[in-house]
């Protein structure tokens, strides 16, 4: 894809923010909230034409 537009980068994980006309803007907000609930993080890194999302979750030691 074309990557995340610069105008959306600061609010990308906020609810109801979408770069698509048919998007709800809930997917990334929910994914990040779920990651936080498990002690992790969802991060975005990208350049024009390339987008990477990284999900970090802690390991549980038994």
**Residue 44 parent element (H or E):** strand 41-47
Question: pTM here?
Answer: 0.74
Using the predicted structure, report yes or no on whether residue 32 has a pLDDT greater than 90.
yes
SS3 45: strand
Is position 1 within any domain?
no
Is position 61 within any domain?
no
Is position 38 within any domain?
yes
Using the predicted structure, report yes or no on whether residue 60 has a pLDDT greater than 80.
no
57 vs 9, more confident: 57
Phi, psi at 27, each rounded to 5°: -60, -55
Look-up: residue for tokens 């803007």? 25
For residue 52, the cross-strand partners are 45
Name the band, by pLDDT with cuts 50, 70 and 90, for residue 33.
Answer: very high
Is position 26 within any domain?
yes
Range of the domain at 34: 6-56
In the chain, how many domains are there? Answer: 1
Burial class of residue 32 in the structure, from the number of CB atoms within 10 Å of its CB (0-12 exposed, 13-18 middle, 19+ buried): buried
Name the band, by pLDDT with cuts 50, 70 and 90, for residue 5.
Answer: confident
Over range 13-42, report the average pLDDT.
87
């Amino acid at each position: 894809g074309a990557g995340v537009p610069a105008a959306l980068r600061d609010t990308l994980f906020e609810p109801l923010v979408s770069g698509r006309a048919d998007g709800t803007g809930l997917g990334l907000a929910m994914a990040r909230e779920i990651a936080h609930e498990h002690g992790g993080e969802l991060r975005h890194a990208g350049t024009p034409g390339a987008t990477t999302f990284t999900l970090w979750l802690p390991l549980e030691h038994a």
